[in-house]
Amino acid sequence: MAVEAAMGGLDDLGDKNDTVAMESIVALNKLVSRANDSQLHSILRQVLLKIRPCF
């Protein structure tokens, strides 16, 4: 559920300064240490595609 919330923050269209997106990335970074590999593997592709425009 926390991962879904953080992923949702990456899709915030009203976030002109990427503030919500950055907070979502920070949250996902914290969750990585608590998740198992299978959970991470299932969302990795989605995360990479969503954060690509930030770079």
User: Angle at the Cα of 50 (from 44 to 54), degrees rounded to 5?
Assistant: 120
Tokens of 30: 């914290």
Evaluate if pTM is beyond 0.75: no
| 12-39 pLDDT tens trace | 888 888 898 889 989 988 988 888 888 8
36-45 average pLDDT score: 84
What are the helix (H) ranges across the chain? 2-9, 19-32, 37-51
Of residues 55, 6, 46, 5, the one with CA closest to residue 29: 6
The answer to whether residues 43 and 3 touch, using CB atoms and an 8 Å cutoff, is: yes
Residue 19 phi, psi dihedral angles, 5° rounding: -65, -45
Quick one: pLDDT band at residue 54, thresholds 50, 70, 90?
Answer: low
Say if residue 53's pLDDT is above 80. Answer: no
Determine the pLDDT at residue 40: 83
**pLDDT of 12:** 82
